[in-house]
Every structure is written in structure tokens, then in C-alpha cells.
Structure 1
């Protein structure tokens, strides 16, 4: 799947005043490409991600998933798009506390009425969780909970993966493991991926780093082939 955002803006109004959370932003993410969006707090990162995932409608502009304008779809079709084509990984794992690990994944299959059952065992084994299938979230480490959340996001084999601060609650080692797992899934299965992050330590795992400031995208260029050994240095470090 290719994601294309064309001149997307999100404007909030407070009486006569307007605030542009996203301002004329354009971005394309191709299959097999993993992009990081960075920027100061309040710069529009999460808003941008929510618009990409059809959780939030833009005030203006287009969001195209495989050429289809999401804004022109009915609410029912948008919900189906999110369920079938988009996988979300959030800062908190948001696991259901009374469900065992294996059931965390199956609940998505039930909601989607989908044939993702066969991937459940495969994903849990792939993420090193096959010995944890009968454990509850409270019995898992932070890294294990986040891996379950990733497996759950991938159960329906989505074409677009969106991650919002997936390393925020993890130490550097576990955080890098999580991002590398996401990158492997995106590249090996030809998915499109976007990660919002403050964690500079994992930027080298991404194909491209885009900076957003005051709702405007900057540094929106692909990394060169020989840039994998070069640390990306944003213009402001405190975000």
C-alpha cells in the first residue's frame, strides 16, 4: 500500500481564533518504506499520524490509501479500512487486562470477522512470545507487553503500520528491539510504515526522517544510499 497525504491541514477553532495543528503537509510513504516523524511537543506529530490512520479527518487536503481518498468514504467504510488495512502501535500497549496473551490477538479477529487466526501462533513465535500465550498483561515485562501490542497490530496483515512513541516506556535495548521488529515487518512484507518518536537512538533504523514544526513538515527528503552510518541531527534537540 502507498500512503499519500496531499496539502493536508488540520485547523482547530476557538471562537474567532484558529490554530493550525497541521499546515499544508504533504507526505508519501511507499511499500517497504519506514519513515520517522520527529519534532517538538505540540508540533503536530500525533495529529499527523491520526490523520494518516483515518482516526482524524483533515480540515483540507487529501489522504489517499492506494489511490482512494479516505475523506470520500462513508464512516462505515473508513472503519473497515482501519480494521483491515491499518495497524496501530501506541505508546502504551493498551492490552486488555483480563485477557491472556493469545486472546489479545484473537479479539481482533472476532471484531474483524477475519481470517487472521492462522497468523496468531506465527506472530507470537516470531516475537518470542510463544511461551507467554497463557499469561496476563500484568505478568509480562514492559517489552513483552509492547511486543504483544505489535503482534496484535499485525494480526490482520495490515498494509500500513502507524506507531506513536512505541519506545517511550522502554529502556534503550528493549526500545531498539521493538523498532527493529517493526522495521523488519515493514520491509520484509512490503508494508508502509510511519513512526512518531522522540527517541533519536532508533532513527538509523528508519529509511527517512521527517521533522515537523508548527504543523509544517521539514527535511522531507529520502536518505541517500550511503547515509545509514550517519546520525540524523534535527535542528532542535529538546523535544
Structure 2
């Protein structure tokens, strides 16, 4: 699994004015590689991640997922690829408040028309949540909620994992645990991973750190 971004730009227009949120970015993430994207607020980190995850179309450039140009697919096929190949972890766990932990994962199986209940049980066990399967989000700690969110992101065994500030709502210990879990999944199961973060305490867990400023990659 590889992700390749080739000369990608995202331009927003406000009348005659233009703003480049992402400016001619090229990036390759290989199988088993976990990279961090850092940069000041407003530098284009989240926009870049949204483009990588096919949530946002670039103004220019190519997004290649396993050699397939996402921009050449129909909207229906893009949605299918996201379900099949991409797992998202966000700053907030975004769990459905009225669903128990086990059902947070099962609802993805229903949407994707998968039969992944056994994998859901395995993931919850793997992330130390086997005793929480019948709890609601309000009954979980912040770290537990984020671990459920990671389990949900992994339920379809995606090839690409994208995490947007996954430690923002966690203390130092829990934040590091979450990032180490993501890194282990990426390395042990041959996935590609990108994490946008302001948290310098977890950068050593990543294979590579890339900085973005004013929409352009610095290194």
C-alpha cells in the first residue's frame, strides 16, 4: 500500500482573490511507514489530510492510492474506496452517544456491508476494551473513547490510516498510548499512516516528520 500526492494544490476563491490552502505539495507514504505532519495553525495540515483521504478534491494534482488515481473515479467509487481502504481518526472521538461500544464498530459494518463482528471483538480486545463492550461513550474515559474511535477506524482493515490531532484531548500518557497503538497497527500490518499533530512529545514514534508552512512542505 502506498499513498502518492503529486504536485497537489487546493485554491479557494473569494471574488477576485485567491487563497492557496495547499501549494504544490508532493508526498509519498510507503507501506509500513508512519509520518507526522507538523506546522502552525492555518498552515494547511488538515486540508492536506482531507485531500489525502479523498474527503476534499484538489484544485490541481494527483492522488494515487495503490497506483489508482482517485481523481479519475466517480463520486460513488470514491466513497467506496474510502470505506474499503481508508481509516480516519479525528481529534474528537465522535462516537454516537446512544450506541454501546460494540455497536460503534458494528454500525460501520452495516454501512460497508461487511461481516466484521469477529474483527470488532478482536480489535476491542486488542486495545484493552473487552470489558467495555456494553458501555456507552459517556461511561468511558477520554483515552477509552479515543481507543474505541481507533478500533472503529480499523474495523474494515484499511490500507491507509489518517489521524488528525488524535492526542489533542488526551493527557501526555494517554496521548502517547494512542499514537503508539496507531504506529504498531501501521508497522505490524503493513499499512501507510499520516498523523497531523501539534504534539511534539509523540514525534519520536513516527518514522518521518514533515513540516508544512503556508501550504508548502518545508522538508
Q: Deviation of residue 218 (structure 1)?
A: 1.2
Q: What is the TM-score of this pair, normalised by structure 2?
A: 0.99
- Give unmatched runs, 5+ long, in structure 2: none
In 1, Cα distance between equivalents of 2:117 and 2:157: 11
Which residue number in structure 1 is paired with residue 35 of structure 2? 35
What is the Cα deviation at residue 116 of structure 1?
Answer: 2.1
Q: Give the equivalent residue in structure 1 for 2:136.
A: 136
Q: 2:98 maps to which residue?
A: 98
Question: So what's the TM-score if we normalise by structure 1?
Answer: 0.91
Shift of residue 114, structure 1, vs aligned partner: 1.2
Aligned to 1:228: none
Could you tell me which residue of structure 1 aligns to residue 154 of structure 2? 154
Is the contact between residue 93 and residue 146 of structure 1 (CA under 8 Å) also seen in structure 2? yes
Corresponding residue SS for 1:119: helix
Q: Is the 8 A contact 1:116 1:157 kept in 2?
A: no
**Total equivalences in the alignment:** 219
What is the aligned partner in structure 2 of residue 202 from structure 1? 202
Cross-structure match for 2:15:
15
**Unaligned runs of at least 5 residues, structure 1:** 220-239
Distance 1:50 1:116 in 2: 26
Report the counterpart of residue 6 of structure 1 in structure 2: 6
Task: Give CA deviations for 1:173-217 in whole Å, capped at 9, x if unaligned.
Answer: 000000000000000000000000000000000000000000000
Q: Which residue is equivalent to 1:193?
A: 193
Separation in 1, partners of 2:106, 2:218: 40
Return the offset for 1:103.
0.3
Q: Partner of 1:131: helix, strand, or coil? A: helix
Question: How far did residue 118 of structure 1 move?
Answer: 1.9
Q: Please give the secondary structure, in 2, of the residue aligned with 1:96.
A: coil
Distance 1:2 1:115 in 2: 26
